[in-house]
Amino acid sequence: MPSTRRATLASLGAATAALAGCTTLEDLLRDPPDRRVTPDWSPAPGTWPESGYGPANTRYNPHATPPREPPTAAWTEFTRGNVTSLVVGDRRVYAGTDEEVVALDPADGTRMWTREADGTSELAYTDGRLYERDTERVRARSADGEKQWETSVPELPLDVHEQDGYVLLPTGGGSLTLHADTGEVVRDRDGEMGRIAVRPDGLYGADYGTVGRYRLRNRGLANRWTSDIPGPYQAYAPPVVVGDVLYQSERALSGSDAPGGRLSMYGVDDGARQGGQPFDHVPFGVAVGENRVFVGTATITAGDLGVAGRFVALDRNGSRRWEYRVGGGIAPPAVGGDVVVAGPYAKSTTPVTALNADSGRTLWERTVPGSAELVAVEDTVYVGAAGSVTALRP
């Protein structure tokens, strides 16, 4: 930064800080970000850039046409460690395990690059950049795998969202705002917001006993509303925001006589709870398609992780339409067109199953080892499982 600019900012710093309330001289002297990204509110065809497909977490890809007949394994690439995260960016399939992060060619599964991981890797792809987070840090890499920066965090990073020059990182103890060019922490916010869903109209967070809506602008967050989760329940999985409804997975508190889990619906304008649907087990994964809400449930206690669960389709108002009974827990599903694909979670031996989204009719099944990370892109279902990534095509 030129010295004349520094002198000017220094002379104005105290007055500006007083007016802004939360702006400091250090903030004013910091170079503004060169990288300015508008989120992919509607991801481009051929991509599935985040675990929830897009920032709103719908897990519904309107551009995808998953196979309706038993598919062929076009390719399988084996990984070191079990796949815990799977996303698709521009012409690459990215898979994360607790041992490595790999980029694969979607055409034939050829490895384009491999990087060592320091723990369970959760991935997100934003405008040519791959974000990689584990229990202690977040990394920014180029699409070619080159590390651009790395930032250690004091609490578990729960999500990552880049917008307009800054990276929001909700953690187990609050949230951090990072400079998109350098990864430098530019704001540390007290108060937990938990897992998030984001739309142009704001950011929605779910943390233990509350759900909330925030206004996101540059480095700042302003609370619009916060609502307590009623009854003996707490938030479990990320929120999903579609239309004027926030869908929130919730689990019963330990020692409660309430059903093991429920899906609640809250109004996005005021946070008022509009109803819900109870389940025997915890709604581990939720997807919202054009006309249906799909809920995969599972046991989540350590000894019984995933041994039981069901897959249920609801109307958008929360009433049940059909149920697919399985012998184990269901991982978060993937939806494309009129096909929904569900798979096993943890100790479940349920096959990956494609069903008609409207009727629940089984279209095909395929057995995979371990939990399934599912992505639907174009005519392909990518399956990350215990030690492998497979592309299933017609």
If asked whether residues 145 and 240 sit together in one domain, one would say: yes
If asked whether residues 4 and 49 sit together in one domain, one would say: no
pLDDT at 82 over 50: yes
Q: How confident is the model at residue 159 (pLDDT cuts 50, 70, 90)?
A: very high
Contact assessment for residue 261 and residue 250, using Cβ atoms and an 8 Å cutoff = yes
pLDDT at 264 over 80: yes
If asked whether residues 270 and 224 sit together in one domain, one would say: yes
CA torsion, ordered 281, 287, 293, 294, to nearest 10 deg: -50
Tokens of residue 83, six digits: 């796949």
**Chain segment 294-332, per-residue pLDDT in tens:** 999 999 988 899 999 999 999 998 999 999 988 899 999
Distance of CA 252 to the CA centre of its chain: 22
Q: How confident is the model at residue 26 (pLDDT cuts 50, 70, 90)?
A: low
Q: Encode 49-90 in three state secondary structure.
A: CECCECCCCCCEECCCCCCCCCCEEEEEEECCCCCCEEEEEC
pLDDT at 39 over 60: yes
What domain range is 8 assigned to? Answer: 1-30
Distances (CA, A) of 185 to 14, 164, 219: 22, 15, 10
pLDDT at 261 over 70: yes
The total of other beta-carbon atoms located within 10 Å of residue 376's CB is 30
If asked whether residues 20 and 159 sit together in one domain, one would say: no
Q: Which residue has the tokens 């992505």?
A: 375
Q: Please give the backbone phi and psi of residue 97, each rounded to the nearest 5 degrees, phi first.
A: -130, -175
If asked whether residues 226 and 211 sit together in one domain, one would say: yes
Distance CA 317, CA 119 (A): 39
Contact assessment for residue 197 and residue 240, using Cβ atoms and an 8 Å cutoff = yes
Q: Count of domains in the chain?
A: 2
Contact assessment for residue 109 and residue 121, using Cβ atoms and an 8 Å cutoff = no
Whole-model pTM: value is 0.91
CA torsion, ordered 272, 170, 194, 121, to nearest 10 deg: 130
The total of other beta-carbon atoms located within 10 Å of residue 41's CB is 11
Taking alpha carbons only, the member of 168, 178, 165, 182 closest to residue 33 is 165
Question: What 3-state class would DSSP assign to 387?
Answer: coil
**Average pLDDT along the chain:** 90
* Residue-level pLDDT at 120: 87
The total of other beta-carbon atoms located within 10 Å of residue 190's CB is 7
If asked whether residues 93 and 20 sit together in one domain, one would say: no
Q: DSSP assignment, residue 259?
A: -
Q: How confident is the model at residue 1 (pLDDT cuts 50, 70, 90)?
A: very low
pLDDT at 8 over 60: no
pLDDT at 158 over 60: yes
If asked whether residues 7 and 82 sit together in one domain, one would say: no
Buried-exposed string 134-148: b where 16+ CB fall within 10 A, e elsewhere: beeebbbbebebeee
> What element of type H or E holds 27?
helix 25-29
Q: How confident is the model at residue 172 (pLDDT cuts 50, 70, 90)?
A: confident
Q: Please give the backbone phi and psi of residue 26, each rounded to the nearest 5 degrees, phi first.
A: -60, -40
What average pLDDT does this structure show over 271-300?
Answer: 95
If asked whether residues 168 and 276 sit together in one domain, one would say: yes
* Residue-level pLDDT at 30: 67
Instruction: Identify the residue with better confidence: 155 or 8.
Output: 155
| Total length of the chain | 394
DSSP 119-154: S--EEEEETTEEEEE-SSEEEEEETTS-EEEEEE-S
Q: DSSP assignment, residue 307?
A: S
> What element of type H or E holds 8?
helix 3-20
If asked whether residues 117 and 261 sit together in one domain, one would say: yes
**DSSP bridge partners of 36:** none
155 CB contacts (<8 Å, ≥6 apart)?
171, 172, 173, 174
**Chain segment 90-146, per-residue pLDDT in tens:** 899 999 999 999 999 999 999 999 999 988 889 999 999 999 999 999 999 999 999
If asked whether residues 5 and 130 sit together in one domain, one would say: no
Q: How confident is the model at residue 174 (pLDDT cuts 50, 70, 90)?
A: confident
Contact assessment for residue 294 and residue 303, using Cβ atoms and an 8 Å cutoff = no
Q: How many helices (H) and strands (E) does the chain have?
A: 2, 34
Burial class (CB in 10 A: 0-12, 13-18, 19+), 149: middle
Beta pairing, strands 85-89 & 92-96: antiparallel
If asked whether residues 22 and 49 sit together in one domain, one would say: no
Distance of CA 78 to the CA centre of its chain: 24
Q: DSSP assignment, residue 199?
A: E
Q: DSSP assignment, residue 11?
A: H
> What CATH number has the domain bearing residue 153?
2.130.10.10
Distance CA 124, CA 88 (A): 9
* Residue-level pLDDT at 145: 97
Distance CA 211, CA 219 (A): 21
What average pLDDT does this structure show over 176-181?
Answer: 96
If asked whether residues 14 and 98 sit together in one domain, one would say: no
